[in-house]
Amino acid sequence: MGSKIYVGGLPYSATDQELNDLFATHGTVESARVITDRFTGQSRGFGFVEMASGEEASAAIAALNGTQFGGRTLTVNEARPQEARSGGEGRGRGGVGGRGGQRW
């Protein structure tokens, strides 16, 4: 299993292929994905890259963190596991109308 890398500070025009190409010079890229807004499809300015080995991931992080890409400074580090999200059920806003319930 590879090592997942977080890449922040991406230009909003960056594509998955450009992200892949950027990291491919430092090892085998298993996947590269720019995260987009689910409604607009616009890049959110960050993405994730999965490298084939931890050594390749470490080399890529050391080489690319703080460098310029598309006029922006990249933040590159090891990705943290995604935090568990609570699902549905009014999203914690309370009962009636999502306003915390009725007040009398």
DSSP per-residue string spanning 44-72: EEEEEEEESSHHHHHHHHHHHTT-EETTE
Tokens at residue 2, please? Answer: 């590879």
Indicate the pLDDT class of residue 85, thresholds 50, 70 and 90: confident
Does the structure show a pLDDT above 60 at 14? yes
* pLDDT at residue 98, as a whole number: 54
pLDDT digits (tens, 9 = 90+) for 15-65: 999 999 999 999 999 999 999 999 999 999 999 999 999 999 999 999 999
Does the structure show a pLDDT above 90 at 94? no
Share of the chain above pLDDT 90, in %: 74
* pLDDT at residue 83, as a whole number: 78
With a CB cutoff of 8 Å and minimum separation 6, the contacts of 29 are: 20, 23, 49, 50, 51, 52
Does the structure show a pLDDT above 70 at 74? yes
Query: Among 1, 5, 4, which Cα is nearest to 77's?
Result: 5
- Cα 41 to Cα 37: distance, rounded to the nearest angstrom: 5
